[in-house]
Structure 1
């Protein structure tokens, strides 16, 4: 496997790779500059920049046709998708390193994302997209207006939600077109 196969998906196009790496670098620079401007230590700046690289880049990666094809290939099921969501422990990394990000806040963000992913994966296919969007918009409010997060990290929750709930969990539109458009009639 090449580096592109691991970071994006097997058979990613040049255009997809360029877009994904550009978004990752821009996300790392943006997040790092925000942390620096807020007076973060060198460790905070580096960790926040790495999280930015992963989340901004990952949101774009997970939205590519190649990644959709890879993550939603035959044999992949809800367990695989939930495991992918569950390994995203960045809220706890931020709580460990960034002053002002508490453990309860990290647990609330992580718990919301995992619970929302569970709800999306058990929802009938024809409702998954609107359920994922509902969870994302309410999660954005939770992570920006309810929980205590330093201002320079207000991007974190919404971008995490976009990466995992919208970009990762939802299949590509061509695959979605093959799913039933309406529920089976109730008899």
Structure 2
């Protein structure tokens, strides 16, 4: 922590949820996207069991907010700073097992669809990380649009947002350093 940096609990929580050193504008954008995305997802989940709606709300907050956070300069410093390797980036993507949590808790989400969405995210990350730096951006975009096209039928209509937002968060916002 540097001199003059806020030291309160709120600052520490913000450092975890957004990124250390995030500006007020970056934090506001991240939380606005997270809350707005959560409201949209919960509205679309109308009629699902309460547990499913709670899981959807938590995942929506993470994904909508995370897609925004991962595009901030503060997150770029956190995830693309010295010592960060392709292995770190691939692990970050691999740890996003949310499709399986949906299969476990949301009626209509099958294990096959969850595996497809997860596998597409992981394959897209491997592809983007395997190419030279000057090709990473176009490969990440190609992987994202192809993954969205392939995964369209993998989730029920109430979760039509899930796979595209997951791919944007992981393949575009997280993997691309600039």
TM norm structure 2: 0.92
Matched, 1:79 2:87: yes
How far residue 27 of structure 1 moved from its aligned partner, in angstroms, is 1.0
Q: How does 1:151-170 map to 2 (within 5 A)?
A: 151-170=157-176
Is this contact kept in 1: 2:148–2:167, CA < 8 A? yes
Residue 134 of structure 1 aligns with which residue? 142
Report Cα offsets for 1:104-156 as digits up to 9, x if no partner. 11111111111110111111000000000000000111111xx3321010110
* Equivalent-residue separation in structure 1 for 2:98 and 2:104 (angstroms): 10
Residue 118 of structure 2 aligns with which residue? 110
Residue 148 of structure 1 aligns with which residue? 154
Extract unaligned runs of 5+ from structure 2.
1-10
Matched, 1:3 2:13: yes
Report Cα offsets for 1:13-72 as digits up to 9, x if no partner. 000001101111111111111101xx1011111111111100000000000011011100
TM norm structure 1: 0.88
Q: How does 1:1-187 map to 2 (within 5 A)?
A: 2-36=12-46, 39-144=47-152, 147-172=153-178
Extract unaligned runs of 5+ from structure 1.
173-187
* Equivalent-residue separation in structure 2 for 1:142 and 1:26 (angstroms): 26
Is this contact kept in 2: 1:48–1:94, CA < 8 A? yes
Q: Which runs of 4+ in 1 moved over 4 A?
A: none
Is this contact kept in 2: 1:128–1:170, CA < 8 A? yes
* Equivalent-residue separation in structure 2 for 1:41 and 1:154 (angstroms): 18
* Equivalent-residue separation in structure 1 for 2:149 and 2:63 (angstroms): 18
Distance 1:83 1:62, change over 3 A: same
Count of aligned positions: 168
| Cα RMSD, aligned residues only | 0.9
Is this contact kept in 2: 1:143–1:154, CA < 8 A? no
